[in-house]
Amino acid sequence: MKIRNGFVSNSSSSSFVVFGFKVKSDPEMICKLLSLSTENIKLDKDDPDYYNDELWDFIYTETRHPNNIEFVIINDDSNEGVIVGKEIAVASSSKDFYLKETSFSTKNLKTMETRLKEVQQEFGIESEIKLFTGMQSC
């Protein structure tokens, strides 16, 4: 009989490649940045923890459907904020085990960079635009 010691998980995870920037973890600002309407959410603004939890649940639910929004949000485990950007590639253990082949020309990336800079200027964000890779639970 074999016994496994170490990390074992039944949760799903996804690997990602995102072209974007980091921003502080402010759910209200992120909803505005993503143009997400929160009018259908019943939020208790007197309880900041409840308020933030409800908004984050809403944000992550909406960003699980990248065709519905312009940008995705990736939680950054370093506690430096979240990553906002264009999803270049994603593979999830819950649906497809392999990263689907995608390609973007330099022209495509420059167009994405221009749009990201417009959003940064509109919201007063000064973080560097980068290519982010990693894994997150979903």
Structure-block tokens of residue 49: 């923890």
Spatial CB neighbours of 16, under 8 Å, sequence gap ≥ 6: 72, 74, 87, 89, 90, 132, 133, 134, 135, 136
Q: Per the structure, how many domains does the chain have?
A: 1
Residue 1 covered by a domain: no
Residue 2 covered by a domain: no
Residue 35 covered by a domain: yes
Q: What tens digit of pLDDT does each residue of 49-100 get?
A: 666 677 777 777 777 665 556 787 777 665 678 888 888 877 766 555 566 6
Range of the structural domain that residue 23 is part of: 13-137
Contact 65, 90 (CB under 8 A): no
The pLDDT-based confidence of 47 (bands split at 50, 70, 90) is low
- The 10 Å Cβ neighbour count of residue 55 is 19
Residue 98 covered by a domain: yes
